[in-house]
Every structure is written in structure tokens, then in C-alpha cells.
């Protein structure tokens, strides 16, 4: 499939690598290609230019350039900027396109820990679905650290990821991509409003990370 990954941070790189590994045609989107190529990676300090050299099949384009013609558009942008990023990318409003929303609506303006800008009665996924009614938005993978998203085998036992979305066909597409990564326990939470729960997991996720000193953990729904 032709997949646009909007975002050049840890998540964008991790998912672009994962989709490429499974044979998809991947473009990464950013505001300014030259600025992005020179920026050091957030965790390893590796500039995007070096990362691209190691992943030569991945194109780095503007948000709009990456999204053009994509069957799946992944929102891997900062939650506070996601609406603006997708507005600059989706000239056609993503009509019929699967939009995999991996972002969290976090506000770091008052430092750490960040607060949620949306919760309880709304979610970022719903904001995007309302703004782009023709898009087929699916929320998934926002509940775990970037390093694990395309590599569930990095944890010593199977864990759980979630799906939320109104379009069953779009959820099936995302389920297929997750299966390629090796996810075996994919729990469908229901319509797009069910994304509120996974987004509200973030405050607890951040505290667990603080206690463990690592983001290398995940939920497992035992039943």
C-alpha cells in the first residue's frame, strides 16, 4: 500500500521503518523538508538525513506531498499541532482515506507532566473525524512507546493494542497492518468516541514510565 506517515519524530520514524519492512510504499511528511532533514532525532540524536540514508526507499516530502495519493495517512504529529498539520496535508479532506491517528492531545506548555487538551467528552480522534468527515479515522497505537509500535516482540510476552473508529473497513485495514507488525491481541473498543479511553491512558502511562524509568512496557488485557 501507499502509506503517508505525517511526522518526523520517534513515532514517524518507527512506523515508516515498520511499514517499509513489510513492503509498503512509504513517504514521510513534514512542514519543511530541509529543516527536518537537518534536525537531530529526539532520542538518538541521529539527523533525519542519516536516517533516510539508512532507509533509502522512504521519501521525505511536505505534509501535502506525502499525503497525495496515499491509501493510508498516519497522523504522527504533535497532538497540539495535528489539526493544522492535517489541514495542510489534506486538500481533498482525505475523502475515503484511512487516517490512522497515533497522536495524543498533550499540552507541554506548563512543563512535565503534560496535561490533556481533550478528555472525557471529546478526543483528538473525534476532532479529526469531525473536521474531515470523509476520512475513515482509526485510533490505534497511541497507548505505547514508539519503539514498540512496529516491534511487539521487543516485550517478553504478548500485549494488547486497541482500535477505535466508525468505519469497519478502515479498522480492518489497520488490523492488517498491525498483524504484519506481529500484534496478535488487537481489541476493538468500538466507534470513534471510544478513542477517549486510550487517549486518557496517557497520564497513567507517563507516571508508570516515571516509576519504571523506561517506556518499554505495555498493557495486557487478561480475560
Residues that bind ligand NAP (CB under 6 A): 7-12, 30-31, 36, 76-79, 81, 84-85, 102-104, 106, 142, 145-146
Which residue, 37 or 168, has its beta carbon nearer to ligand NAP?
Answer: 37
Which residue, 96 or 207, has its beta carbon nearer to ligand NAP?
Answer: 207
Which residue, 54 or 168, has its beta carbon nearer to ligand NAP?
Answer: 54
Which residue, 15 or 173, has its beta carbon nearer to ligand NAP?
Answer: 15
Phi, psi angle pair for 216, to nearest 5°: -85, 70
CB atoms under 10 Å from CB of 41, counted, come to 15
- Work out how close the CB of 144 gets to ligand NAP at its nearest, in angstroms, rounded to a whole number: 6
- Work out how close the CB of 152 gets to ligand NAP at its nearest, in angstroms, rounded to a whole number: 14
Taking CB atoms, the residue at the shortest distance from ligand NAP is: 9
- Work out how close the CB of 5 gets to ligand NAP at its nearest, in angstroms, rounded to a whole number: 9
Which residue, 22 or 39, has its beta carbon nearer to ligand NAP?
Answer: 39
| Residues 150, 5: Cα–Cα separation, whole Å | 13
**H or E element in which residue 5 lies:** strand 2-6
- Work out how close the CB of 172 gets to ligand NAP at its nearest, in angstroms, rounded to a whole number: 22
Which residue, 84 or 95, has its beta carbon nearer to ligand NAP?
Answer: 84
| Residues 116, 131: Cα–Cα separation, whole Å | 19
- Work out how close the CB of 100 gets to ligand NAP at its nearest, in angstroms, rounded to a whole number: 11
Closest CA relative to residue 36, chosen from 20, 16, 18: 16
| Residues 146, 151: Cα–Cα separation, whole Å | 9
Burial of residue 111 (number of CB atoms within 10 Å: 0-12, 13-18, 19+): exposed
| Residues 216, 144: Cα–Cα separation, whole Å | 8
- Work out how close the CB of 180 gets to ligand NAP at its nearest, in angstroms, rounded to a whole number: 19
The residues, any chain, with a CB within 8 Å of residue 50's CB and separated by 6 or more, are none
CB 60 within 8 A of CB 34: no
Amino acid at each position: 500500500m501507499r502509506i503517508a506517515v505525517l511526522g518526523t519524530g520517534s513515532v514517524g520514524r518507527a512506523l515508516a521503518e515498520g511499514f517499509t519492512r513489510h513492503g509498503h510504499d512509504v513517504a514521510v511528511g513534514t512542514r519543511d523538508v530541509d529543516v527536518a532533514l537537518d534536525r537531530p532525532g529526539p532520542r538518538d540524536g541521529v539527523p533525519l538525513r542519516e536516517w533516510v540514508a539508512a532507509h533509502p526507499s522512504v521519501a521525505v516530502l511536505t505534509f501535502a506531498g506525502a499525503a497525495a495519493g496515499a491509501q493510508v495517512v498516519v497522523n504522527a504529529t504533535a497532538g497540539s499541532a495535528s489539526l493544522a498539520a492535517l489541514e495542510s496535508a489534506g486538500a481533498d479532506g482525505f475523502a475515503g482515506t484511512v487516517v490512522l491517528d497515533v497522536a495524543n492531545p498533550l499540552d507541554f506548555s506548563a512543563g512535565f507532566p503534560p496535561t490533556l487538551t481533550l478528555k472525557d467528552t471529546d478526543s483528538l480522534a473525534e476532532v479529526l473525524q469531525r473536521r474531515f468527515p470523509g476520512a475513515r479515522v482509526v485510533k490505534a497505537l497511541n497507548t505505547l512507546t514508539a519503539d514498540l509500535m512496529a516491534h511487539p516482540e521487543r516485550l517478553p510476552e504478548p500485549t494488547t493494542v486497541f482500535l477505535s473508529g466508525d468505519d469497519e473497513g478502515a479498522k480492518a485495514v489497520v488490523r492488517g497492518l498491525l498483524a504484519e507488525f506481529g500484534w496478535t491481541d488487537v481489541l476493538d473498543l468500538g466507534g470513534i468516541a471510544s478513542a477517549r479511553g486510550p487517549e486518557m491512558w496517557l497520564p497513567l502511562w507517563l507516571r508508570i514510565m516515571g516509576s519504571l524509568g523506561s517506556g518499554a512496557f505495555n498493557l495486557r488485557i487478561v480475560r
